[in-house]
């Protein structure tokens, strides 16, 4: 690793970090796939890396795991600067799933454990246990090629856990699984975190991250425009107000924000949609009541992570394009 970026000194975090990365850069044939990624993943967290396809998620994870070395930047995984030094404490499910087709399920799990330093005999014993626990005991002696794609994926997921890692990295773990197994995997990830295992996963399906994660990092164009708690990400987008009035028009309309949008009708009344004003809802309510708008209903909806993701990643995309080609963007 080319560690030319030193870790910044600062206050000791309340929870130690399982992963710390600063300024990670990776170029392929002159193309910058990852451009200065910073990440801090606390131990025991479920951490999501979100990003559109080709944003640099997999490359970032590969750098964190030592599969490839960054061209610039610094990483520390479970306190080690060389990820292979702590490989025995890490489990990894790559985006491109793969197992030896002729291997039996038990052997496949034990083999992945053996790669992480777990003795083969113990690996076989745990593999049997895991398969039984997850309702796959009947497939223990079946070859991988005899399993369905989803089942083979579940076997591989169990392989990432057989050596009881402290950090588990899943790259797009939900793709290829049906809805039932996706739910099962979500429960498994929560269970891991409850036992103190750090779980980090990449996805472009935001709903999983919203349900599972304490913190997320959004990657777009090889950069991280946002990293932090899910709530903070959601607060980047103003909450949306949905107002239903009896009256369709009147002097009270001046109190509505300029970007309020009217939609639908109810016997002369109307629905109005607009972002929550910075001044809050109370002054607006007062003006509406005084103006006799006839409020039938009013709700404030907090932005979802999906909206936050789209907004943040979209902004980042626009910025990156402007940096790459200011003239073109200027037009």
Distance from C-alpha of 194 to C-alpha of 204, rounded to nearest angstrom: 24
Q: How far is the CB of 40 from another protein (least distance, A)?
A: 20
Using CA atoms, how far apart are residues 282 and 329, in angstroms rounded to an integer? 40
Q: Does 122 bind another protein (CB under 8 A)?
A: yes
Distance between CA atoms of 34 and 21, rounded to whole angstroms?
Answer: 12
Integer Cα distance of 257 and 288 in angstroms: 12
Q: How near is the Cβ of 127 to another protein at its closest, in Å?
A: 12
Enclosing H/E stretch for 105: helix 105-115
Query: Are 66 and 82 contacting, i.e. CB atoms less than 8 angstroms apart?
Result: yes
Does residue 89 interact with another protein by CB under 8 A?
A: yes
- Binding residues among 230-289 for another protein as defined by CB under 8 A: 237, 240, 261, 263, 273, 275
* Binding residue (CB under 8 A) for another protein from 5, 213, 303, 305: 303
What is the distance in angstroms between the CA of the first residue and the CA of the last residue of the chain?
A: 41
Q: Which of 55, 213, 216, 288 binds another protein (CB under 8 A)?
A: 55
Nearer to another protein, 6 or 53 (CB): 53
Q: Closer CB to another protein, residue 96 or residue 282?
A: 96
Site string for another protein, 182-221 (x = CB under 8 A): -----xx-xxx--xxx------x---------------xx
User: What does the alpha-carbon distance between residue 184 and residue 203 come to, in Å, rounded to a whole number?
Assistant: 16
Quick one: CA dihedral 160, 82, 203, 13, positive or negative?
positive
Of 85, 132, 290, 292, the one binding another protein by CB under 8 A: 85
Interface residues for another protein in 30-49 (CB under 8 A)?
Answer: 30-31, 33
Residue from 13, 16, 79, 119 binding another protein (CB under 8 A): 119
């Amino acid at each position: 690793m080319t560690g030319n970026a030193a870790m910044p000194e600062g206050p000791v975090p309340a929870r130690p970090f399982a992963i710390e990365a600063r300024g990670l850069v990776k170029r392929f044939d002159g193309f910058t796939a990852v451009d200065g990624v910073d990440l801090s993943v606390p131990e025991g967290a479920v951490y999501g890396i979100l990003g559109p396809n080709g944003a640099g998620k997999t490359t970032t994870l590969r750098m964190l795991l030592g599969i490839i070395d960054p061209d610039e930047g610094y990483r520390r995984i479970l306190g080690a600067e060389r990820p292979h030094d702590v490989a025995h404490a890490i489990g990894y499910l790559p985006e491109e799933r793969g197992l030896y087709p002729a291997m039996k399920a038990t052997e496949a799990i034990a083999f992945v454990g053996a790669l992480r330093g777990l003795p083969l005999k113990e690996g076989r014993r745990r593999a049997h246990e895991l398969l039984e626990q997850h309702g796959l005991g009947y497939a223990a002696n079946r070859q991988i090629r005899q399993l369905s794609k989803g089942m083979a994926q579940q076997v591989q997921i169990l392989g990432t856990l057989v050596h009881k890692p402290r950090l588990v990295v899943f790259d797009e773990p939900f793709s290829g699984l049906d809805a039932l197994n996706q739910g099962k995997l979500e429960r498994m990830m929560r269970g891991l975190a409850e036992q103190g295992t750090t779980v980090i996963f990449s996805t472009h399906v935001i709903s999983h991250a919203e349900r599972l994660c304490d913190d997320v990092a959004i990657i777009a164009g090889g950069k991280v425009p946002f990293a932090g708690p899910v709530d903070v990400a959601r607060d980047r987008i103003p909450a949306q107000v949905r107002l239903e009035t009896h009256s369709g028009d009147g002097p009270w309309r001046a109190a509505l924000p300029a970007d309020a949008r009217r939609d639908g009708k109810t016997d002369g009344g109307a629905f109005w949609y607009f972002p929550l004003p910075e001044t809050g809802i109370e002054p607006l309510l007062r003006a509406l009541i005084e103006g006799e708008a006839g409020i039938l209903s009013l709700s404030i909806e907090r932005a979802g992570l999906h909206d936050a993701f789209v907004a943040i990643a979209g902004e980042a995309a626009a910025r990156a394009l402007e940096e790459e080609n200011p003239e073109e963007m200027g037009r």
